[in-house]
């Protein structure tokens, strides 16, 4: 076979292969930005930055291969694979979470490995091979056209490195012009990717995590002073009409997986209510229903919601407290109520190690954790991440009955989880017809969960627990992401999902039923951080000495605004999204944004204060009056056989 002879200039040019690798990867990344990510490009400068921001990363990383004299092409191909894999991992993650992977998220994946299969597969498409096609092109070129290319010197690396740094600084300068203090006000990862690119964001994320790890070691008792002063200045006193009305009662928290408020009172085209039981609670006059209540979770999703509800602190901007800060000192609901004679437990149809719960629940002060080992985890009883809701609540009743009263318990439901597919034998409720499988299945899954809750309430009444138990039901986070906005516009009967409408879609239900106390529909704006002081005040425990950031929802002094982890916020008058101010009532962009500007500083201060507590582990330096600290090492969660579970030992 006759060999193909190339011009000597090309055949000896090691830089040609490098240029092809950079250009192919640059174009692929830009295409991914346009196709997969909704980054909120608002002007021509942002469009230009989106185009150039993959270039500095490509130059730098592929330039590293030029240091390898004999293996340059192989190293470039390996680098291409690693970067392509990171890009695709972000794409798959973004398709559901509308967010980007961080270093702490990778740690969470390790913690939760083996239980993510169905959800992950549902996010993939055969067309995704496109995101690796440049790697295959490079392999083909390396084996043919550039087979004999070798590197003669390393001077090219210095030139490429200089070009990469210059490109990045040019990129950063333009980004800072459009978004001042980009790297210091980094609550929103979308901003960082939009302005700097996914790969530069990863570098930034690594640096931030190194910084975070050092914060605790450098902290001392003086760091709590500013937080304490802020807390005292923003404390909301309890409403005397409700303070202590539930004193001595049992408390049950129920986490409503992925459940959003738009489902309440929603009717299918044939007139069927999706959630008839929850609708009845909303309107019965004996239950507080908060219709302007928002989730505030970050990347930790369900675990973040738990953290917010029980600690009245905000979750981390990146990763999850449950995984990354499990060794911190906390003064959570179970430990506070322990001082009032309460026993405590979590009931969850999944295994202890998921979300690192077997570790952090000890720091919260939970006496017991009834996990999957206490339940019949048969094929017909399980789906997605664990046990279906109906058998879960049914099998939980004997465990609940065996607890010493008064008790504080938390039930974590699972059935209403992405991708919301139901087993046919579990429902005869019709799916939606909105041109989106995930959205269509959401109606069936939500209806099933509603039936499970009704069953549980009936069991509580039959056992005599209902009349002496405060029941708190809360949606933990959104279920339908922005990737399904076309279908959601049809669901809501609007032309499009605007930023203001999307913000309101982050409303999740909050029900608080207190026996003997008249409830009703509440219109005040609040979030998950506000629930702990609300419930503790109902139980007759004043929170003025506790380091928390919530505002009692029933207080006459309630602040009537709430924030999201990315720095956006909602008040009774306005919604701030990406620093744009919208009317809460109409959703129109406001020309006079003074309302948002006034609140913006408060929101940023509040997040910074909470981050001080969490990142520096400041509660180890603070003890509220009358509070007895707990020792996490005193707790051991045993299986039903009285022995430590193997999964816990493995952890």
Asked if 369 and 394 touch (Cβ cutoff 8 Å), the reply is no
Instruction: Output the DSSP codes for 219-284.
Output: --GGGHHHHHHHHHHT--PPPTTTTTTTTT-EEEEEEETT--GGGTT-B-TTS-BS-HHHHHHHHS
Asked if 364 and 631 touch (Cβ cutoff 8 Å), the reply is no
- Beta bridge partners, 293, equal 526
Tell me 432's DSSP state: P
- State residue 274 phi and psi, 5-degree precision: -70, -40
Non-local (6+) Cβ contacts of 121 within 8 A are none
Instruction: Output the DSSP codes for 347-383.
Output: EESS-TTGGGHHHHHHHHT-SEEE-GGGS---GGGEE
Instruction: Output the DSSP codes for 556-624.
Output: TT---EEE-TTS-EEESSEEEETTEEEETTT-PBPS--HHHHHHHHHHHHHHHHHHHHHHHTGGGG---
Asked if 252 and 513 touch (Cβ cutoff 8 Å), the reply is no
Which pairs count as long-range contacts for 464-469, CB under 8 Å and 24+ apart, including other chains? Answer: 465/250, 465/400, 465/401, 466/515, 467/515, 468/249, 468/250, 468/405, 468/515, 469/249, 469/250, 469/251, 469/252, 469/515
Strand order in the sheet with 561-563: 561-563, 569-571, 574-577, 580-583
The continuous run of DSSP H or E covering 499 comes out as helix 499-504
Cα–Cα dist 201/193, whole Å: 6
Q: Is 72 a known active-site residue? A: no
Taking residue 563's Cβ as centre, other Cβ atoms within 10 Å add up to: 26
Taking residue 139's Cβ as centre, other Cβ atoms within 10 Å add up to: 15
Cα–Cα dist 371/178, whole Å: 49
Helix and strand numbers, DSSP H then E, in the chain: 23, 14
Per the structure block, which two tokens stand in for 169?
Answer: 């600084």
Count of alpha carbons within 13 angstroms of residue 266, beta-carbon side? 20
Which of 509, 518, 580, 524 has its CA nearest to residue 263?
509
Which of 303, 322, 384 has its CA nearest to residue 115?
384
The continuous run of DSSP H or E covering 344 comes out as strand 343-348
The single residue listed with the structure tokens 């989730």 is 295
Asked if 546 and 224 touch (Cβ cutoff 8 Å), the reply is no
Which residue in the list 102, 302, 543, 562 is annotated as catalytic? Answer: 302
* CA-to-CA separations, 554 to 245, 472, 515, 565, in angstroms, rounded: 12, 14, 16, 23
Q: Which residues are catalytic?
A: 302
């Amino acid at each position: 076979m006759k060999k193909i002879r190339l011009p000597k200039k090309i055949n000896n040019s090691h830089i040609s292969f490098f240029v092809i690798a950079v250009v192919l990867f640059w174009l692929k990344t830009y295409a991914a930005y346009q196709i997969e990510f909704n980054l909120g490009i608002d002007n021509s400068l942002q469009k230009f930055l989106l185009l150039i921001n993959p270039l500095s990363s490509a130059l730098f990383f592929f330039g590293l291969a030029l240091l390898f004299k004999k293996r340059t092409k192989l190293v470039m191909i390996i680098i291409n694979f690693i970067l392509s894999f990171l890009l695709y991992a972000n794409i798959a993650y973004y398709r559901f979470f509308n967010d980007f992977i961080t270093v702490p998220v990778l740690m969470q994946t390790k913690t939760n490995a083996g239980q993510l299969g169905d959800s992950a597969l549902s996010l993939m498409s055969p067309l995704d091979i496109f995101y690796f096609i440049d790697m295959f092109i490079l392999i083909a070129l390396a084996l043919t056209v550039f087979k004999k290319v070798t590197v003669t010197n390393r001077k090219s690396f210095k030139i490429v490195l200089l070009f990469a740094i210059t490109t990045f600084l040019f990129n950063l300068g333009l980004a800072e012009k459009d978004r001042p203090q980009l790297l210091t006000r980094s609550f929103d990862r979308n901003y960082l990717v939009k302005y700097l690119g996914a790969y530069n964001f990863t570098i930034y994320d690594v640096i931030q995590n190194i910084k975070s790890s050092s914060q605790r070691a450098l902290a001392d008792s003086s760091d709590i002073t500013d937080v304490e002063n802020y807390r005292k200045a923003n404390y909301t006193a309890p409403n005397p009409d409700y303070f202590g009305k539930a004193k001595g009662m049992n408390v049950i928290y129920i986490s409503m997986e992925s459940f959003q408020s738009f489902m309440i009172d929603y009717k299918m085209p044939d007139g069927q209510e999706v959630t008839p039981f929850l609708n009845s609670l909303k309107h019965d006059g004996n239950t507080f229903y908060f219709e302007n209540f928002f989730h505030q979770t970050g990347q930790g999703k369900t675990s973040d919601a738990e953290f917010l509800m029980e600690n009245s602190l905000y979750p981390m901007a990146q990763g999850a407290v449950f995984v990354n800060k499990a060794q911190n000192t906390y003064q959570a609901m179970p430990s506070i109520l322990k001082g009032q004679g309460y026993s405590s437990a979590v009931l969850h149809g999944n295994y202890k190690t998921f979300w690192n719960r077997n570790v952090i629940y000890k720091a919260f002060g939970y006496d017991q954790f009834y996990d999957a080992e206490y339940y019949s985890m048969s094929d017909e009883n399980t789906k997605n991440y664990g046990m279906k809701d109906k058998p879960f609540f049914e099998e939980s009743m004997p465990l609940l009955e065996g607890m010493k009263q008064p008790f504080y318990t938390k039930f974590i439901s699972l059935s209403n989880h992405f991708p919301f597919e139901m087993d046919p034998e579990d429902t005869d409720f019709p799916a939606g017809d909105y041109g989106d499988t995930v959205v269509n299945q959401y109606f069936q899954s939500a209806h099933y969960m509603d039936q499970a809750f009704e069953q549980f309430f009936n069991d509580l009444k039959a056992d005599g627990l209902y009349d002496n138990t405060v029941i708190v039901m809360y949606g933990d986070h959104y279920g339908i992401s922005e990737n399904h906005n076309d279908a959601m516009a049809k669901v809501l009967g609007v032309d499009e999902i605007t930023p203001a409408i999307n913000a309101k879609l982050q409303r999740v239900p909050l029900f608080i039923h207190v026996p003997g106390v008249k409830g009703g529909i509440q219109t005040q704006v609040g979030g998950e951080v506000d629930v702990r002081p609300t419930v503790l005040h109902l139980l007759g425990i004043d929170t003025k000495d506790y380091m928390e950031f919530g505002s009692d929802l029933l207080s006459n002094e309630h602040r009537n605004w709430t924030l999201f982890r990315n720095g956006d916020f909602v008040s009774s008058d306005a919604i701030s999204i990406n620093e744009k101010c919208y009317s809460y009532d109409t959703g129109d962009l406001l020309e006079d944004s003074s309302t948002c500007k006034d609140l913006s500083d408060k929101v940023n201060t509040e997040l910074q204060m909470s981050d001080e507590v969490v990142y520096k582990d400041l509660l180890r330096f603070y003890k509220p009056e009358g509070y007895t600290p707990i020792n996490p090492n005193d707790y051991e969660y045993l299986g039903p056989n009285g022995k430590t579970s193997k999964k816990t030992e493995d952890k």
